[in-house]
Amino acid sequence: MIYSWQRWRGTVRQFAKFGAVGALGFVVDSAFLYFGIYVLGLGRVAAGFFSFPFAVTFTWFGNRVFTFRDAAPMPVARQLSKFAAICAVGLVFNRGTYSLLVHNVPLVYHYPVLGLLAGTAAGMFFNFFAARRHVFGM
């Protein structure tokens, strides 16, 4: 019983760290989203896809050095590609939610960061458990 509690507590701690890295990644994602819209002239959905790789790279690095720093070592390029593949699947939840809201909720169209926030939450649970198991081997 104690082992189960300690293991669960460790997972909750990792999830909190993952969330903290994700919050910073959200800032990176938002900055590139607005850069795509207002500097590059992309549509809101295209800008959402444009910003995604920047957020993935940032969060991979943060999770590598902070959240899962005790994970077994893995070559950087291999780990980043595995993390990106997990995030690509999570993209269905993340950008799917974002796109749905931008197209159907006028408030979100005018404030796309709200859709980005909802999409981030939708993808977070999948990304955490998939990355924890398949990328960082924990």
- Measure the CA–CA gap between 123 and 17, rounded to whole angstroms: 16
Residue 19 CA, distance from chain mean position:
9
C-beta contacts of 28-37 below 8 A and 24+ residues apart: 28/54, 28/55, 28/58, 29/54, 29/55, 29/116, 29/120, 30/113, 30/116, 33/112, 33/113, 33/116, 34/113, 37/112
- Judged on CB neighbours under 10 Å (0-12, 13-18, 19+), 40 is exposed
Q: What was the pLDDT predicted at 3?
A: 58
Report angle CA 56, 125, 16 to the nearest 5 degrees: 85
For residue 2, the model assigns a pLDDT of: 54
pLDDT for 120: 82
Of 98, 111, 12, which Cα lies nearest the Cα of 55?
Answer: 98
Residues of the chain with pLDDT under 50: none
Please check whether residue 127 is in contact with residue 95, taking contact to mean a CB–CB distance below 8 angstroms: no
pTM of the model: 0.80
Structure tokens at 116: 């980005």
What pLDDT score was predicted for residue 5?
73
